[in-house]
Amino acid sequence: MKELFYLFQSYLDDPDITDVNYNGRMLWLDHLKKGRYRDDTFCDDEIEQFCFQVANRLNLPFNVTNPLLEAETEDMRISILHPSVSKSGISISIRKTPAVQRLSRSMLIKEKYAPAALLDFLKLAVQKGCNIMVGGLPGVGKTELIKFLASYIPSHQRIITIEDTLELRHHIIHPASDCVALKVNERFTYSDAIKASLRQKPDWLLVSEIRSHEVVYLLEAVSTGAHLLSTIHCSQAASIPKRMIQMFPDGYAQLEAKLEMMYEAVDIGVYLQASVTDNGIRRQIAEAVVFTNEARLCSTMIYDGQKLSLEELPKPLYKKLYPMKERRKKTCS
């Protein structure tokens, strides 16, 4: 199927281009270093022919009655809208999903994505089995951070990834790990996948994104001892528990009890931001918060984009991360 994409091949071959979007008139590219920009050199004379070639290869209709054409390969997914619904013309969106880990500790420090001490804290949190939610708006790199953090999970611990489009690819990036990759669809939903995972003895659940009612089964999984790495759309780290509650089937009913569950289930919330500068796009950790319901529901900001403060970690989390220090304290006292 790769030969079908001759119109876009130069963009697909560039490892720094993550998304290719055609809006019926012009081509826009998402570049890891340059940000988002228009390519005025693109020739769209064969766009319609390209779309029908894809439809023919997939043996799928693409017309007024069936205006959406979607496909997925090993390293990209494509969505095409027919001009009957896209009034600006044929709309094409290609998202590259290569089995690579783009982030590294040295790169993140160099690009001021986060201070070294915060990265070391998150590494320890993963190694100690903390539940971490990564939040932010679309396009800030939430999935890439999850892939980076997951690299610190010991290879003997069983991981189950749950996605509708395979982007995490932990089983390929870390072939020696005990990883099962689940792909959801209309007949096998996120909720189905999470419930099935409970019978697969997972140490970790890596869920590409929490969106809806599956949050109920996710909490059940965490309550059985599975650890969690996942993403969510939100506007700040401290709002993650409330955003998750909005996804319950009955909404804010029994709000206090649900908040207690959230503050118990999620240990750390990370909020990402992205901005376009003269030097390209810059992504960074803007906030990191720890949650606890030990005495009362509490979210403690440990990183505000400038300063990292680990002195006020809640006692349960401190004991989880630094058990030897806790024992030494008790011995000395």
- The per-residue pLDDT for 314 is 86
- What's the pLDDT score for residue 3? 73
Q: Which residue among 96, 129, 163 closes a domain? A: 96
Q: pLDDT band for position 329 (50/70/90)?
A: very low
Tell me, yes or no, whether 212 and 268 share the same domain. Answer: yes
Distance CA 12, CA 3 (A): 12
Q: In what order do the strands lie in the sheet with 68-72?
A: 35-39, 27-31, 17-22, 91-96, 76-81, 68-72
Contact between 79 and 70 under an 8 Å Cβ cutoff? The reply is: yes
Shared domain check, 127 and 64 = no
Residues 37 and 137 in one domain: no
Least confident of 128-132, 200-204, 254-258: 254-258
Task: Render pLDDT for 238-269 as a digit per residue (tens, 0 to 9).
Answer: 999 999 999 998 877 888 888 888 999 999 99
Q: What is residue 324's predicted lDDT score, i.e. its pLDDT?
A: 67
Residues 92 and 109 in one domain: no
Residue 277 has pLDDT above 80, yes or no: no
**Domain co-membership, 177 together with 249:** yes
Q: Quick one: pLDDT at residue 332?
A: 35
- Supply the range of the domain harboring residue 127: 105-331
The domain that holds 72 is classified in CATH as: 3.30.450.90
Residue with the bigger pLDDT between 315 and 232: it is 232
**Is residue 20 located within the same domain as residue 167?**
no
Whether 153 and 14 map to the same domain: the answer is: no
Last residue within a domain, chosen from 96, 125, 160? 96
| Least confident window among 55-69, 135-149, 253-267, 274-288 | 274-288
Residue 317 burial (10 A CB sphere; 0-12, 13-18, 19+): buried
Confidence (pLDDT) at 278: 65
CATH number at residue 152: 3.40.50.300
The pLDDT of residue 41: 95
pLDDT of residue 166 exceeding 90, the answer is no
Q: Is it the case that residue 131 has pLDDT exceeding 90?
A: yes
Mean pLDDT for the stretch of residues 217-242: 93
Q: How many domains does the chain have?
A: 2
For the chain, give the mean pLDDT.
90
Give the H or E element holding residue 12: helix 9-12
Judgement on whether residues 61 and 127 belong to the same structural domain of the protein: no
pLDDT of residue 256: 85
Last residue of a domain, one of 61, 96, 131: 96
Q: What proportion of the chain, given as a percentage, has pLDDT over 70?
A: 95
- Same domain for 147 and 76? no
State how far the Cα of 275 lies from the Cα of 121, in Å rounded to an integer: 25
Are residues 204 and 180 in contact, defined by beta-carbon separation less than 8 angstroms? no
pTM recorded for the entire structure: 0.87
- 134 falls in which pLDDT band (50, 70, 90)? very high
Is pLDDT above 70 for 67?
yes
Backbone angles phi, psi at 105, to 5 degrees: -60, -45
Asked if 51 and 113 sit in the same domain, the reply is no
> 249, 78 in Cβ contact below 8 A?
no
Tell me: do 26 and 62 sit in the same domain: yes
Same domain, 189 and 283: yes
Residues in CB range of 206: below 8 A, 6 or more apart: 146, 150, 159, 160, 161, 162, 168, 170, 229, 230
Cβ–Cβ < 8 Å for 274, 18:
no
Identify the top-confidence range among 31-35, 118-122, 243-247: 118-122
- SS3 string, 111-143, reads CCCCCHHHHHHHHHHHHCCCCEEEEECCCCCHH
